Amino acid sequence: MLCERCRWWPHRSPGTLVAMAGSAPGTAFVTGSDGFLGTELIKLLVSRGHRVLALTRSLEGAETLRRIGAVPVIGDLLTPGRWQDEAAADWVVHLSPPPVHGRIFPKRGAKMARAHLSLDANLLDAVSAGSTRRIVYVAHTQCYGAAGSRPVTEDEPPCPTASGRWLVPAFDRLGGYALAGMPIVTAIPGCVYGNGSWFRELVIEPVMAGRRVLQFGRSATLASPIHVHDCARALLHLAEHGKIGGRYFVANSAPIRISEFSNTFARLANRPLRVWRLPAAASRFVVGPAWTEYPQADAVLSNIRLRGIGFRFEHPTVEDGVGQVLRALHE
């Protein structure tokens, strides 16, 4: 049926499954579609000829999605509705809502955990295991927490951050869905950067405007970066080649220090770098809790499992990835 502002594709009967990267197009259902990673993923899907049904809660988001070639589907993961009829696609990519950072009291945390379980259930219970080839569930590194300065594999027991522990109940339930026959593959991206989101706000804009770049916490903290385009490519690769029930870290092979993001961008842009270093204790009062937790501890992820199924990076280093960001800015 059709709504006035958004197109709704009629419910499909199960058809022949096609290869994600092959010549025959298929249908993909994407949640979290109008965010930084979601829009990059949709552009990639559309460029490969796939029909993309993109879930969004707002008319503004729907307009953004329509411009990049997707079919917007209005709905909220927390509220069952007719959007669930569209979820039984050839592929489903679930970009679960971002966690709330900073201090979370137990009562609020328990409410968040219940909401996360509910929105996952609303989606996954609507997916037809018989017609859907893969469900790529994109989880957060906060479920693993401070992994340390030595690369860890996906088999390492999670040690979630303070806010990440409220995501763990939903994360742990994925194994049950896989045992029940759902074709779930879990992707866990590292620090995603590119021309948007935190990288644009905290690095690109201040450097290009000659303002100070805010650095807080430990500038020597190690992180596992991944360019947003490579992250989107990896999700599609997992949709085709990922082992059902498997977990995959999505990150470059070489970790970097958090400060290298701004240092590299300023150097390649041939701009002076001015830095405002803020102690971790004071950061939550200046930038709020959303930015305080991630840069406090090393998190180095091994990508050997992802590479083992044939994935190759287009931007294997931050030097190369930031160079692409600068080229895009000049185009």
Q: Tell me the HSE value of 211 on the side-chain side, using a 13 A CA sphere.
A: 10
Is pLDDT of 134 > 60? Answer: yes
pLDDT tens digit sequence for 91-109: 999 997 765 555 567 787 8
- Is the CB of residue 121 less than 8 Å from the CB of residue 179? no
Q: Tell me the HSE value of 111 on the side-chain side, using a 13 A CA sphere.
A: 6
Q: How far apart are CA 213 and CA 243, in angstroms?
A: 41
Q: How far apart are CA 69 and CA 54, in angstroms?
A: 10
- Is the CB of residue 36 less than 8 Å from the CB of residue 197? yes
pLDDT tens digit sequence for 30-79: 999 999 999 999 999 999 999 999 999 999 999 999 999 999 999 999 99
Strands 213-216 and 275-278: parallel
Q: How far apart are CA 295 and CA 216, in angstroms?
A: 8
Q: What is the pTM of this model?
A: 0.88
The percent of residues above 90 in pLDDT, for the chain, comes to 63
* Continuous H helices in 68-167: 106-124
Average pLDDT over residues 156-175: 84
pLDDT tens digit sequence for 203-239: 999 999 999 998 765 667 889 999 999 999 999 999 9
Q: What are the chain's domains? A: 27-192+225-250 (3.40.50.720), 194-224+255-299+318-330 (3.90.25)
Average pLDDT over residues 266-276: 94
